[in-house]
Structure 1
Amino acid sequence: MQFLQHLIEFISAHYLLTTAFLVVLGLLLFTEGRKSGSAVSTQQATAMINRENAVVVDVRPKKDFAAGHIVDSINIPFDSLTTRLNELDKHKGKPLLLVCAAGQHAGGCAKQLKAAGHDKVARLSGGIGGWRADNLPLVK
């Protein structure tokens, strides 16, 4: 309770500093969010795959990919993406859908792909776990 009281006192005494901090924080979050690609739901992902011919790039390790993956997805593990970016050059201009286990690696991979010239990059919200939770098909 005392912390909250001190925080309110600080904010009221330094409102310009607090406002500047919040603006910078908001811009930073906005910029980082745009770099990492938009997060799409499983429904949006299936629409991208079926209607827009999105290329599904699974960035999980090969062992996890072999245990079950989205039909026609390409496996490029996140730790080797930098050295294998050229494999995706033929798909420039097409939407890319990045899939990882739970969403923690796809954002970083999206940044790399955007820097390499891929402008339509999205990541599956919840990763392959979200796909499984929605009972969508996987192949081995």
Structure 2
Amino acid sequence: MNFLIDNWALISVALLSGGMLLWPMLRGGSGGGLNPAAAVQLINRERGVVVDVAEPDEYAAGHVAGARNVPLGQFEKRLPEVVKNKTVPLILVCPTGARAQRALPTAKRLGYEKAQVLAGGLRAWKEANLPVEKA
């Protein structure tokens, strides 16, 4: 107990730094996904394809410009129909990034080795002031 009392400042700094390291994960930011700037580079330089896994009503309310809608519930069946070329980078998007993260293993299993998730989802895209379309 004396250790805690004598070293309260060091313990506080350790807890604070640990919290700062965990904050992006708790916030839904990067889970190893792409940031919006990297996604734009993939789209422009490598002809990356954006696939929005949101439900049709969410997609209609707003989506990344040029994105194709393949709802998560239909993802495994419809992805090969919508994106035939498995060699292009695939950027998975949803409103927050959570559903896109769930779709990633399925895309990889289907042979889309360059599939990645837009970290933070459509929210991060909008925060970066990038173009959004409405259906």
> How big is the shift at 1:89?
5.0
Structure 1 counterpart of 2:50, which letter?
Answer: V
Any gaps of 5 or more consecutive residues in structure 1? 5-36
Give the % identical residues.
40
Quote the Cα distance in structure 1 between the aligned partners of 2:32 and 2:78.
22
**What does 1:13-92 align with in structure 2 at a 5 Å threshold?**
38-88=32-82, 90-92=84-86
Structure 2 counterpart of 1:87, which letter?
Answer: E
Instruction: Give yes or no for contact 2:76–2:107 (8 Å, CA) kept in 1.
Output: no
Counting matched residue pairs gives 106
Quote the Cα distance in structure 2 between the aligned partners of 1:130 and 1:89.
24
Q: CA RMSD in A?
A: 1.8
Quote the Cα distance in structure 1 between the aligned partners of 2:92 and 2:114.
11
Quote the Cα distance in structure 2 between the aligned partners of 1:112 and 1:88.
15
Q: Which aligned runs of 4 or more in structure 1 are off by greater than 3 angstroms? A: none
Structure 2 counterpart of 1:72, which letter?
Answer: G
Aligned to 2:20: none
Which residue of the other structure, out of 122, 125, 130, is the alignment partner of 1:128? Answer: 122
Give secondary structure in 2 for the equivalent of 1:56.
Answer: strand
Instruction: Give yes or no for contact 1:38–1:121 (8 Å, CA) kept in 2.
Output: no
> How big is the shift at 1:117?
0.9
> How big is the shift at 1:82?
2.0
Deviates more, 1:79-88 or 1:47-56: 79-88
Give secondary structure in 1 for the equivalent of 2:33.
Answer: strand
Quote the Cα distance in structure 1 between the aligned partners of 2:92 and 2:68.
10
- The normalised TM-score by structure 2 is 0.72
> How big is the shift at 1:71?
1.7
1:46-67 C-alpha deviation (Å, 9 max, x unpaired): 1111111000000001011111
